[in-house]
Amino acid sequence: MHTPESIARQDKRAQDAALRSFHAYVYEQLQSARKDEILRRASERIGLWKKGRLCSNYYIRFWSGVVASGDSQVFKQKVMDASERRALGMMQNTPFSFLMREHR
């Protein structure tokens, strides 16, 4: 029998897996001809965060550094290869959400 806690843990694992899958897709796209356009749009999104004070400066600084680097390997290192807790924390507040519609 599934307890509410076990169901919540399963849901959290599924959500975390979806975030990792999505950001693996972002990483792939950052290695494509679309890279500059994707980075431009992510930078614009971060600009909106700053202007509207829509999230913590911590996220703004983190993602600004990743996007400004323009390097898919920096993305991989700081997002994909970071500790699970850090990676998932950053992935929950991503400037790449505009790509979610095309990722299945």
At residue 103, φ and ψ (nearest 5 deg) are: -90, 130
Hey, where are the domains in the chain? 4-102
For residue range 42-73, list pLDDT tens digits in order. 999 999 999 998 899 999 999 999 999 999 99
- Please tell me whether residue 5 adopts helix, strand or coil conformation: helix
Return the structure tokens found at 72.
């898919």
For residue range 80-92, list pLDDT tens digits in order. 998 888 888 899 9
